[in-house]
Amino acid sequence: MTRVLVFGGTGQLGLALQRAQLPASWEIKTLSRRDLDLERTDAIEAAIATLRPAVIINASGYTGVDKAESEPELALALNRDAPAAMARAASAIGAPLAHISTDYVFRGDKPAPYVETDARDPVSVYGVSKADGEVAVLDAHERAAIVRTSWVFSADRTNFLKTMLRLGETRDEVGVVGDQLGRPTGTDELARACIALVSRLLDGDADAAGVFHFAGAGEATWADFAEAIFTQATQHGRNRVRVKRILTAEYPTPAQRPANSRLDTSKIEALGITPAPWRDGVRQYVAQLLA
């Protein structure tokens, strides 16, 4: 058996990894917060040394973008120090590591989609913590893949799609930011990409190491994303909800967000790992939640 250790198994991506179609010999092992508090880097290193997985996928993280502004130490502990410990321990046992990162490592003022070689230039504590995590992982491990993704949604936990469906229960109009552009990404798609990349790392494919961008095909503003969700919800008997397009400046949040979050995915597509349209994910998860 090929033991695949997944950190963050209770998260959006972690759950998708566990329901994904896996290569026949793979066996996923997850460690929950109760088994292992990821603030403890010594415990992370000990767990990896004991379990000796063939490969590790880090789907964990401190994902509260706004909350991170007032909890920088915790964000750095989980998004920089924990992955650094995973990378050190994984390298020590010769196991490749896939680590998930974000579009928020960029400032967002580039007029075109971001490519992997663009300089990190985050504008939030969360973005800084994820950027530092990437550097720490790449410094500690030669066979590591960083998968940057964006606007992750699913039928699990809390995310934009679930928030819109909840708001739509009681409102006929919702104000949504219409001047940030990005690529929504369904977790099943993201899980599929991680599995494909990790399989290549396990096969010793050096082209699968380094930084990659993966995001749903097509682009959208948050307002476009909301409209797609509400349109889909009408197919399941919900009343139509109007989207009022607002400016970022009209919706102040503790953390600044990039205006352009679009990730260019050509590099991973050249490996044959191609994203499906983000709208397919909206159809799938709205149906799942409202069926």
Ligand X SMILES: NC(=O)c1ccc[n+]([C@@H]2O[C@H](COP(=O)([O-])OP(=O)(O)OC[C@H]3O[C@@H](n4cnc5c(N)ncnc54)[C@H](OP(=O)(O)O)[C@@H]3O)[C@@H](O)[C@H]2O)c1
Residues interacting with ligand X, by CB under 6 A? 8, 10-14, 33, 37-39, 59-61, 63, 78, 100, 102, 130, 149-152, 157
The region, left, alpha or beta by phi > 0 then psi within -120 to 50, assigned to residue 212 is beta
Q: Which CB atom, from 96 or from 184, has the smaller least distance to ligand X?
A: 184
Q: Read off the tokens for 145.
A: 């893949």
Q: Which CB atom, from 178 or from 216, has the smaller least distance to ligand X?
A: 216
In three-state secondary structure terms, 223 is helix
Q: Which CB atom, from 47 or from 208, has the smaller least distance to ligand X?
A: 47
**Minimum separation from the CB atom of position 116 to ligand X (A):** 15
Q: Which CB atom, from 185 or from 232, has the smaller least distance to ligand X?
A: 185
Report the DSSP pairing between strands 55-58 and 2-7.
Answer: parallel
In three-state secondary structure terms, 5 is strand
Annotated catalytic residue, options 104, 114, 126, 285: 126
Inter-residue contact 25 to 17 (CB < 8 Å):
no
**Minimum separation from the CB atom of position 255 to ligand X (A):** 13
Residue entry with tokens 């909800």? 241
Q: Read off the tokens for 73.
A: 């130490």
**Minimum separation from the CB atom of position 99 to ligand X (A):** 8
Q: Cα 166 from chain centroid?
A: 22
Q: Which CB atom, from 6 or from 233, has the smaller least distance to ligand X?
A: 6
E runs forming strands in the chain:
2-7, 26-31, 55-58, 97-102, 144-149, 152-153, 173-177, 181-182, 185-186, 210-213, 220-221, 242-246
Whole-number Å distance between alpha carbons of 97 and 143: 7
**Minimum separation from the CB atom of position 57 to ligand X (A):** 10
**Minimum separation from the CB atom of position 40 to ligand X (A):** 8
Q: Cα 14 from chain centroid?
A: 10
Annotated catalytic residue 126 = yes
Catalytically active residues are 126
